[in-house]
Chains A and B, each alone.
Chain A
Amino acid sequence: MATTSQSDFTNQPDAQGHFGRYGGLFVAETLMGPLQELRDAYARYIKDETFLAELDADLRDYVGRPSSLYFASQLSRRCGGARIYLKREDLNHTGAHKINNTIGQALLAKRMGKRRIIAETGAGQHGVATATVAARLGLECVVYMGSVDMARQQANVYRMRMLGAKVVAVESGSKTLKDALNEAMRDWVTHVDNTFYIIGTVAGPHPYPAMVRDFQKVIGREARTQILQQAGKLPDALVACVGGGSNAIGLFHPFLNDTSVAIYGVEAAGEGLESGRHAAPLCAGRPGVLHGNRTYLMQDENGQIIETHSISAGLDYPGVGPEHAWLKESGRANYVAVTDQQALDAFHELTRREGIIPALESSHALAYAIELARGMGSDQIVLVNLSGRGDKDMHTVAALDGIQV
């Protein structure tokens, strides 16, 4: 069991995929063999120099890495507190951090001889990032998406189809991200021989939480080097939004042993934690087992998973990556929540002050960072992961202003 006296926070998970008492491997027997095959392949290629060189070249030339670290001077001045730096994952190809992971997993799929790629998607960002790499590598691609989400994110559905992916509407359950994940798992169980399942976040059965984290750690590695170059010291605080938690763990992980750096994960409080209409399992849920791992969940007293609510489809998920559950329990990271309205205010604030339109997901991190910075000194630094750009959210924000785009 983890405690606050732990000295190495980067040594998780154990060989069976446990982050403390979270994570693990909770799937039907049919998937146990294929997951072993995936673990073996991943363990082999993550140390393979040719694989890593190909990954690095793709991240540089195709994704556009390193993404910049930007000092938001206007926003910082408005806050009148700490200096706010933005890690610009919004500048990546396809507009978010998601592609860091899909590139890695697709290269792995190719090496494993799997010619068919499947994925789940909520807002469509992971679906687009998967369809993108599948197009480039010439792999068949099927994306599962809840029919409610398809209606909310029509532009991304069209984008995926243009890229050659088949987008399958999921009509079961709440018809959102969690149901899309269920359906992708069902597809995988049926086509395990030729199919690679690219999970988009740090959830799912072992090795996904560790593997997706490792592909996203590039965010934090770059940010750490960049802040030392630009500011000559480590930040005082890191802030990132947490749905499943892949952009957050990617930023946090390389800083975990820098214990002078405070870490904040920001969940979606939706209409307010007290309303019950939110997507904040770490702040207001309790541990359970879903989608292959043990973690904090939004569930009722009978263990049924309950519907979540957030203005941002990318945070609209009832679970969270097991490493976040462990970081919460170990005390190394703090988890907080901001409402739809707070996120919208931050969305407009960044757009007007810096000329950067953030994704609604990332706006949650910004909202908390602005609050945090206000209470800090001007010699202090808050580093925020701007995980994606807001183009996909234009119609959501416009609709709130009564405008149809």
Chain B
Amino acid sequence: MSRISRRFKQLEARHQTALIPFITAGDPNPEVTVPLMHALVAAGASLLELGVPFSDPMADGPVIQRANERALKHNISLRDVIGMVHRFREQDQDTPVVLMGYLNPIEALSYQKFAQLAGAAGVDGVITVDIPPEEAGEYLAELRAQQLDPIFLLAPTSDERRIKLICDAASGFVYYVSVKGTTGAASLAIGEVASKVFEIRKATKLPVGVGFGIKDPESAQAVAQVADAVIVGSVLVNQIEALAAQPEAIAPALASSISRMRSAMDLI
């Protein structure tokens, strides 16, 4: 069983919903990332989602675009990000780590090389924003050969046929993008999210994570009532941006946000 599946089983046994913070690797500088990952776990993160910087993050809103630009000022490459996961694993063997990024840096390395390096470093899953299952045959084979879970996004515009197609290609969990828009978009409508998650559950037994538009403990709590995982990104990356000049303050600030969300989610 993969580290991701094991973690969801543990959470289920404790009747807890997973909380997955997103940060961009190397933002605002490369030294911050690994200690920050440990701090997020200590504060209650169940899995970690690590953004791989890309020059053209088409699916991201302004907050995460700027995080990509800050990281790229340090020339953070996909190999560097994998190296960070390797260092994280020296102290943490249990918390799953999922990379999120765009296809071109992976193609530049080659699918096979990427999967081998990521698997060896202790990466557990990969969200590749701009490759739908229709184009992913060869890529999926390489990921699976290294026991990496391909995690796909589902959207409000995904119809029944696409939900089935995507759930069949995915493993680990599926990620429902709760609003039409980019990361950091407007607040989600919980009623609509609930009915779409219900539809997704008919197509798969995989855990369903929900992200985009979760901004505070209240929205995290609301989503926790319908989803298996709450994914939160832009609100954390905003804090990183505000504290970029005092990087030592970043980990305590984000830990505090995560721990407040965790507490709110555990009240249900």
A residues adjacent to B (C-beta < 8 A): 16, 24-34, 172-173, 178-179, 182, 185-186, 189-193, 287-292, 297, 299, 301-306
Are A32 and B158 interface neighbours, CB within 8 A? yes
> Which residues of the partner chain B approach A27 to less than 8 Å between Cβ atoms?
58, 130, 132
> Which residues of the partner chain B approach A29 to less than 8 Å between Cβ atoms?
132, 152-155, 157-158, 162, 166, 177
> Which residues of the partner chain B approach A302 to less than 8 Å between Cβ atoms?
75, 77-79, 105, 108
> Which residues of the partner chain B approach A190 to less than 8 Å between Cβ atoms?
180-182, 185
Bound-complex Cα distance A271 to B255 (A): 50
Are A173 and B153 interface neighbours, CB within 8 A? no
Q: Which stretch of B59-67, B216-224, B236-244 is in the interface?
A: B59-67
Q: List 24 A-B contacts (CB under 8 A).
A: A24-B135, A25-B132, A25-B135, A27-B130, A27-B132, A28-B130, A29-B157, A30-B59, A32-B158, A173-B55, A178-B56, A182-B56, A189-B59, A190-B182, A289-B102, A289-B131, A291-B58, A292-B130, A302-B77, A302-B108, A303-B106, A303-B107, A304-B54, A304-B72
> Which residues of the partner chain A approach B77 to less than 8 Å between Cβ atoms?
302
Bound-complex Cα distance A178 to B57 (A): 11
Are B108 and A288 interface neighbours, CB within 8 A? yes
Bound-complex Cα distance A190 to B105 (A): 25
Within the complex, what minimum Cβ distance (angstroms) separates A175 from chain B?
Answer: 11
Q: Which range holds the interface residue count of chain B?
A: 35 or more
Bound-complex Cα distance A74 to B105 (A): 50
Chain A's interface: helix, strand, loop or mixed, by majority?
mixed
Does B69 belong to the interface (CB within 8 Å)? yes
Does B90 belong to the interface (CB within 8 Å)? no
Does B109 belong to the interface (CB within 8 Å)? yes
Are A301 and B129 interface neighbours, CB within 8 A? no
> Which residues of the partner chain A approach B181 to less than 8 Å between Cβ atoms?
30, 186, 189-190
Does B35 belong to the interface (CB within 8 Å)? no
Residue of B nearest to A193 (CB): B180
Are B58 and A34 interface neighbours, CB within 8 A? no
Given contacts A189-B181, A303-B109, contact A297 B56 (CB under 8 A): no
Interface string of B95-110 (1 = CB under 8 A from A): 0000000111111110
> Which residues of the partner chain B approach A25 to less than 8 Å between Cβ atoms?
132, 134-135
Bound-complex Cα distance A25 to B134 (A): 8
Bound-complex Cα distance A28 to B211 (A): 14
Are A304 and B55 interface neighbours, CB within 8 A? yes
Given contacts A16-B134, A26-B132, A30-B180, contact A289 B157 (CB under 8 A): no
Given contacts A26-B131, A32-B132, A303-B78, contact A186 B61 (CB under 8 A): yes
Residue of A nearest to B186 (CB): A190
Bound-complex Cα distance A9 to B134 (A): 25
Bound-complex Cα distance A267 to B5 (A): 50
Within the complex, what minimum Cβ distance (angstroms) separates A389 from chain B?
Answer: 31
Bound-complex Cα distance A50 to B75 (A): 54
Are B61 and A305 interface neighbours, CB within 8 A? no
Bound-complex Cα distance A155 to B189 (A): 43
Bound-complex Cα distance A190 to B155 (A): 12
Given contacts A30-B155, A30-B180, A289-B130, contact A303 B56 (CB under 8 A): no
Bound-complex Cα distance A186 to B75 (A): 25
Are A189 and B108 interface neighbours, CB within 8 A? no
Given contacts A289-B103, A305-B104, contact A33 B158 (CB under 8 A): yes
